[in-house]
Every structure is written in structure tokens, then in C-alpha cells.
Amino acid sequence: MELFDKKITELRLKSENSDILKYSQFLDTQQQLKAISLSRGAKYVLDGGYPDAERRLIAYLPSYLDELDRHSIMGAVHITCPHFSGELTHRDFLGAILGLGIKREFIGDIIISGKEATVVALKNMAEFIKENLVSVGRASVHVEFIDINEVKSAQLNEKHISCTVSQLRLDAVAANAFSLSRTKMCEVIDSGYVSVNHVLCTHRDKEINEGDVISVRGMGRAKLNEIGGKSRKDRIFLDIIRYV
């Protein structure tokens, strides 16, 4: 059994045998998929602090809990750079946080808005960042706590794409959403770079439904906004929203 599989299985068994809450560190999409496969029949949730989170932890719930109290295990900080006029990127914020000696798996998403960032982390790590982060790159920063339930997705511009497909397959819908050939999109899917509703998917023929969100690593996200009627050639009209 691989080390990751062993850790997840141990968490699950400890929760089930002792009827207590147990949870992992933050997982990437591939790890989430593997954790789900190891958790069939268990009572669990995947949560990253807000609805659209990409990095999420798996929490095994005891019999007396029906939902996860995020406040008990996660925290969030808001970072501002009030006197800096340059540009800061996700890499700058992540690098500064990891430079404090924090491991990546202790940190969830970092949501960038201009020169500001909101960071989701395990509760004790959020406290550590609040007390110790003084700069990001060449910028002096101010760090404050925010309520984990007030974390929101980054505000993105929307681009509507009208197209037709012969079938509501992942490869066909995603190819149109991200302006790639179907052959190229199949390569991207096969490489493990595509998620549907934040869960890794390597099945080209997965059926995509109205409202599903497709994420491609390095390219962003898109949502199948509306499924319309059919053309004379029996192709399906789609309205896709690409977040840019």
C-alpha cells in the first residue's frame, strides 16, 4: 500500500473505530480522487473553505455530525500590501508563505485579487501566518484574520461561447470551451490535467451536464451554462461560460 493510501485509510479507520472527527491535510485534485476511491461507504466530506475551492481536505465525520464545522479545523487570512506599487502573483504569495517553513499541504487555495490575497490554511497555520508573515517579495504586508465562511472565489470576467457538439462528452465540450482541437484536448485529459466539478477526470467520454464546471490545469475554468436544442444535422447547441 502506498504511503498516501495508508494515511487516508488510517484516518478513516480511526474515525470509524473511535467515532471522532479525523481529517487530512489539503489535497490536490489527483489526491482527492484517490481519497474518494478509498472512502466508499464512509461518512466524509471534501472541503476547502469555500464552494469553488480546488485544494480540499477530506474529513471523516463521526455519527453525531452531519456537516463539517470549518472553524474547528481551518482558518483564513487576508494579506494586503498598502504601500507597494508593483505587481504580485500567486507565486509571490505562495513563495513567501512557504519561506516561513510551512509545508504546501498545510495550505489550501490562495485567492488573488490585485495586490491582495486571501489564504485558506489549517487553523494553526493560519495563526502562524498571521503572526510571522511580514513581506511578500519586496512588499511589506499587513495580515489579518477573516472568517473562513466569508472566503469567496476570485471575481473573474466571463466570456460566453456558443457552439455545437454531436455528444455531451467531456472531450467535445472542453475542446470548445478552451479553443483546442478535440485531439489535443484528449491528450490533456489523458495527462490528468482536467477536473469536472473539482474532481480529477480522465474519462474522455464522461457526460457533461448543465451547470458542470470543467477545470484545466494552467488554462482556467469553464461552465456548461445551457444546453439548447438541436440543429438540422442533429448537433446540440451549447452556451459555455469561460472564466478569464
Q: What is the pLDDT of residue 1?
A: 58
Same structural domain for residues 132 and 84?
yes
Q: What is the pLDDT of residue 83?
A: 87
Domain CATH for 228: 3.10.290.10
Domain count, the chain: 3
Domain CATH for 136: 3.30.70.330
Q: What is the pLDDT of residue 141?
A: 96
DSSP states of 216-238 as a string?
ETTTEEEEEEEEEEE-TTSPEEE
Q: Which grid coordinates belong to 182?
A: 478535440
**Alpha-helix runs per DSSP H in the chain:** 3-18, 29-37, 90-98, 123-132, 170-177, 182-190
**Each residue's pLDDT tens digit in the chain (244 positions)?**
589 999 999 999 999 999 999 999 999 877 888 899 899 999 999 999 998 788 999 999 999 999 999 999 999 999 999 888 888 889 999 999 999 999 999 999 999 988 899 999 999 999 999 999 999 998 999 999 999 999 987 776 889 999 999 999 999 999 999 999 999 999 999 998 898 987 889 999 999 999 999 999 878 889 999 999 999 999 999 999 998 7
Q: What angle do CA 153, 106, 125 make, to 5 degrees?
A: 90
Q: Which grid coordinates belong to 56?
A: 480540499
Q: Nearest-CA neighbor of 205 among 223, 188, 222, 186?
A: 186
| Chain length of the chain | 244
pLDDT in tens, 13-54: 999 999 999 999 999 877 888 899 899 999 999 999 998 788
Q: What is the pLDDT of residue 122?
A: 98
Identify the domain boundary among 68, 86, 108. Answer: 68
Which amino acid would we find at residue 41? Answer: G
Q: What is the pLDDT of residue 115?
A: 87
C-alpha 44/C-alpha 62 separation (Å) is 9
Q: Nearest-CA neighbor of 208 among 189, 180, 233, 192?
A: 189
Identify the domain boundary among 99, 128, 150. Answer: 150
Same structural domain for residues 204 and 188?
yes
Structural domain range at position 235: 158-243
C-alpha 169/C-alpha 85 separation (Å) is 45
Same structural domain for residues 197 and 174?
yes
Asked if 54 and 215 touch (Cβ cutoff 8 Å), the reply is yes
